[in-house]
């Protein structure tokens, strides 16, 4: 008879199941045998008890996988890691059973990004950074890593010739990091094509994709050839605006080992309750993403015909310059969009100050709709000339479309646009 607790059985079980079944069941367990809770319990504890001094010594010597101390590992955190691993990595395992996929959880998306870059690059190395990324990622590269001797260089990742050139010009580069779709311009990078160029020109470069905007439900970078996927779990993965967290999934064992070393020694692990909230959010990811995407498409179409809107940036619109790429590498087109008003920044401010239903706040991927102004908020730390070069104009307004009733979102925009 098959042993249902054996890791190989569990792996095979999940690989055969669909996305939502994996999102609901992967990693779950029913707690202790004598207290079999249906929903896995929160191990809200900083440390774990050894049954004897000998057991404690064995745990520290790495001779068994006993829990020691929550910074080093916690059962609640492990459930979340196992679940994202089954979502982000399942297709990769199916394609090549020799590849092992690992996921590690962090206290924030920025902790996850910092660890991914530090895992790959040391003092004297270089990194290539997508020219449009979240403001703090840009600031991390140029204001923090720079001081540690890791030099960053911008590359226009939407342009494959520019990617090829940058990789050729930077033999010391150890990683290329980019977002797709990019925050906040919604430009795309062709993950498979970038990974192919890296393999051909300099296979020592690790391809890291920030998949926060898409989630594994819409796009799976590892299946497309990336080596590492990072997430701000603060966003769609947790989904309800209740937690700050991060996750990294990788096909490279040495990257996983470096990441764990960083978690252990820098202390960037998440708290058990935060990990539990992310795990709960992951269970409903698929149905939330379906609604985020259909609402965003409706909002994008409505805005693109409005006379006071000069441009809408949404990969689902046929006039998006990378619409065909979006169709190829994403399941749907996501819940994020940006737009510019005919009246520029002033009109945008008026809209944000008047609009109902949409909440004026940064962050994204919450069940409710959020609106914000990248140039003065999420990307204020990016120098203006760089912002403008990347397409982040002073008038750009970014919307994270929630899962409210579609008509209520359109009515709210209609009413606000009438007064700008």
Ligand X SMILES: Cc1ncc(COP(=O)(O)O)c(C=O)c1O
Q: Are 336 and 181 in contact (CB under 8 A)?
A: yes
Q: Are 179 and 132 in contact (CB under 8 A)?
A: yes
C-alpha distances out from residue 347 to 221, 252, 353, 355, 383, Å: 37, 48, 10, 12, 23
- Spell out, one character per residue from 75 to 114, where the chain touches ligand X: x when CB under 6 A holds, - when not: ---------------------------------xxx----
Asked if 210 is part of the footprint of ligand X (rule: CB under 6 A), the reply reads yes
Judged by CB under 6 A, the chain residues 176 through 205 that form the site for ligand X are 179, 183
Smallest separation (angstroms) from ligand X to the CB of 105: 12
Smallest separation (angstroms) from ligand X to the CB of 179: 5
Q: What are the tokens at 5?
A: 């607790």
Asked if 403 is part of the footprint of ligand X (rule: CB under 6 A), the reply reads no
Pick the closer one to ligand X by CB: 109 or 395: 109
The answer for residues whose C-beta is within 8 angstroms of residue 81's C-beta and 6 or more apart is 27, 103, 104, 105, 247
Rg, Å, the chain Cα set: 22
Q: What is the DSSP letter of 181?
A: S
Smallest separation (angstroms) from ligand X to the CB of 114: 9
Asked if 269 is part of the footprint of ligand X (rule: CB under 6 A), the reply reads no
Smallest separation (angstroms) from ligand X to the CB of 415: 28
| Catalytic center residues | 71, 134, 210, 235
Pick the closer one to ligand X by CB: 244 or 317: 244
Pick the closer one to ligand X by CB: 43 or 134: 134
Q: What are the tokens at 15?
A: 């690989």
Asked if 232 is part of the footprint of ligand X (rule: CB under 6 A), the reply reads yes
Asked if 134 is part of the footprint of ligand X (rule: CB under 6 A), the reply reads yes
Judged by CB under 6 A, the chain residues 322 through 341 that form the site for ligand X are none
Pick the closer one to ligand X by CB: 309 or 336: 336
Q: Give the rounded distance of the alpha carbon of 338 from its chain centre.
A: 18
Judged by CB under 6 A, the chain residues 234 through 263 that form the site for ligand X are 234, 244, 246
Q: What are the tokens at 214?
A: 């898409």
Smallest separation (angstroms) from ligand X to the CB of 136: 6
- Between CA 45 and CA 115 the distance in angstroms is 24
Smallest separation (angstroms) from ligand X to the CB of 111: 7
Q: What are the tokens at 55?
A: 């057991």
Pick the closer one to ligand X by CB: 109 or 225: 109
- Between CA 271 and CA 44 the distance in angstroms is 8
Q: Judged by CB under 6 A, which of 80, 85, 212, 295 binds ligand X?
A: 212
Given CA atoms 398, 288, 316, 17 in this order, what sign does their dihedral have?
Answer: positive
Q: Are 378 and 398 in contact (CB under 8 A)?
A: yes
Pick the closer one to ligand X by CB: 79 or 136: 136
Angle between helices 160-169 and 191-201 (to 10 degrees): 30
Closest C-alpha among 241, 298, 245, 301 to residue 269: 245
Angle between helices 75-88 and 272-283 (to 10 degrees): 30
Smallest separation (angstroms) from ligand X to the CB of 209: 11
C-alpha distances out from residue 116 to 198, 202, 209, Å: 17, 19, 10
Pick the closer one to ligand X by CB: 85 or 211: 211
- CB atoms under 10 Å from CB of 261, counted, come to 13
The binding site for ligand X (CB under 6 A) comprises 108-110, 134, 136, 179, 183, 210, 212, 232, 234, 244, 246
């Amino acid at each position: 008879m098959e042993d249902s607790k054996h890791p190989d059985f569990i792996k095979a079980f999940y690989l055969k199941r669909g996305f939502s079944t994996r999102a609901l069941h992967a990693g779950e367990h029913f707690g202790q045998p004598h207290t079999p809770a249906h929903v896995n319990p929160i191990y809200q504890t900083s440390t774990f008890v050894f049954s004897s001094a000998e057991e404690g010594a064995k745990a520290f010597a790495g001779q068994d996988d006993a829990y020691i101390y929550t910074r080093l590992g916690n059962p609640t955190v492990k459930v979340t890691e196992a679940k994202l691993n089954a979502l982000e990595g399942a297709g990769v395992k199916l394609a090549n059973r020799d590849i092992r996929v690992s996921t590690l959880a962090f206290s924030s998306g920025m902790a996850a990004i910092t660890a991914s870059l530090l895992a790959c690059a040391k003092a004297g190395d270089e990194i290539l950074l997508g020219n449009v990324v979240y403001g703090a990622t840009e600031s991390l590269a140029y204001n923090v890593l720079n001081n540690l001797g890791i030099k960053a260089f911008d590359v226009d990742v939407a342009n494959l010739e520019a990617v090829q050139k940058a990789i050729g010009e930077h033999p010391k580069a150890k990683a290329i990091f980019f977002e797709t779709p990019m925050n906040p311009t919604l430009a795309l990078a062709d993950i498979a094509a970038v990974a192919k160029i890296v393999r051909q020109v300099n296979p020592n470069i690790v391809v890291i994709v920030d998949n926060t905007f898409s989630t594994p439900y819409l796009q799976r970078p590892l299946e497309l050839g990336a080596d590492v996927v990072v997430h701000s779990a603060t966003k769609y993965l947790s989904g309800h605006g209740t937690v700050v967290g991060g996750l990294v999934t990788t096909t490279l064992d040495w990257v996983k080992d470096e990441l764990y070393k960083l978690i252990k020694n820098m202390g960037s692990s998440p708290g058990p309750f935060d990990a539990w909230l992310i795990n709960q959010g992951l269970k409903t990811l698929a149905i939330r993403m379906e609604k985020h995407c259909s609402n965003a498409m409706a909002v994008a179409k409505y805005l693109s015909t409005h006379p006071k809107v000069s441009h809408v940036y949404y990969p689902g619109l046929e006039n998006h310059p990378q619409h065909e790429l979006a169709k190829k590498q994403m399941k749907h087109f996501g819940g994020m969009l940006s737009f510019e008003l005919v009246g520029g920044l002033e009109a945008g401010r008026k809209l944000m100050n008047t609009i109902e239903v949409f909440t004026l706040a940064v962050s994204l991927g919450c069940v409710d709709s959020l609106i914000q102004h990248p140039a003065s908020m999420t990307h204020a730390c990016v120098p203006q000339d760089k912002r403008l070069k990347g397409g982040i104009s002073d008038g750009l307004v970014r919307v994270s479309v929630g899962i409210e009733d579609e008509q209520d979102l359109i009515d709210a925009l209609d009413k606000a646009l009438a007064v700008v």
